[in-house]
Amino acid sequence: MPWRDNTEPYYVLVSELMLQQTQVDRVIPKFEQFTGLFPDVQSLAAASLSDVLTAWSGLGYNRRAKFLHAAAKKVVDEHGGVIPDTYEGLVSLPGIGPNTAGAILAYSFNRPVTYIETNIRTVFFHHFFEGQPTVTDKELKEIVTEAVDKEHPREWYWSVMDYGAYLKKQGVGRNDKSSHYKKQAPLKGSLREVRGLILKALAQTDQPYEELKRSLPQDERFETALAALAKEGFVERKGERLHLAE
């Protein structure tokens, strides 16, 4: 995994956002392509949103790409191009929550922090909560905090992540016992699919509203998806033409 070979904060930030809802084997080639185009936070901040979304294409959940782009801009504008090395500084960046901040602190800065993600849940559910039907992250964090290797947190988390991936392949340590678990809905036929199609089209060029609408599924999903993308700051409308916001 390239983000283990190079643990600089930018690489870990990109990998963590890509890995949030995408499997490792799909992320690796996209990560290498993405970091080839945008090798550092400065080049990502200077890129257009359309270029970022085009590079992100294939990973889905495009909100992650927009957050990453916005985070890079904030790092350059407010932190002198240096990704923060504190929890407070990291969670102040767009798209970075407690667990992503924890991962960056553990992997880039080798800090013995506590953070939770699906593979970590798998390991601790299997060994500490096997007979318990539901588990909260609060319960989980108490045990993870005790277990973290305080001298080698980076390597410890890597080993737990790998062990969790192994357990998943064996069909044990089910994450659906987590009270925070949400099953991912299928992409085909979903509103998320239409959102992606709109962004993919507009990443190529701005388009007349009616022309774009005709090229996409002819049902209520188009208007719903477009309204959501506009509200989230992805898409703007000028007269009868739609384009990506910057």
191 contacts 221 by C-beta, under 8 angstroms: yes
56 contacts 65 by C-beta, under 8 angstroms: yes
> Alpha-carbon Rg of the chain, whole angstroms?
20
Residue 16 appears among annotated catalytic residues? yes
Q: Choose among 215, 194, 199, 207: nearest CA to 62.
A: 199
Q: Distances from the Cα of 224 to the Cαs of 14, 127, 192, 213, 220, in angstroms?
A: 29, 44, 10, 12, 6
Cβ-count burial 40-53 (b if 16+ within 10 Å, e if not): ebeebbebebbbbb
The catalytic position among 8, 16, 142, 151 is 16
**Strand, coil or helix: what is 174?**
coil
SS (H, E, C) 204-235: HCCEEHHHHHHCCCCCCHHHHHHHHHHHCCCE
Catalytic residues: 16
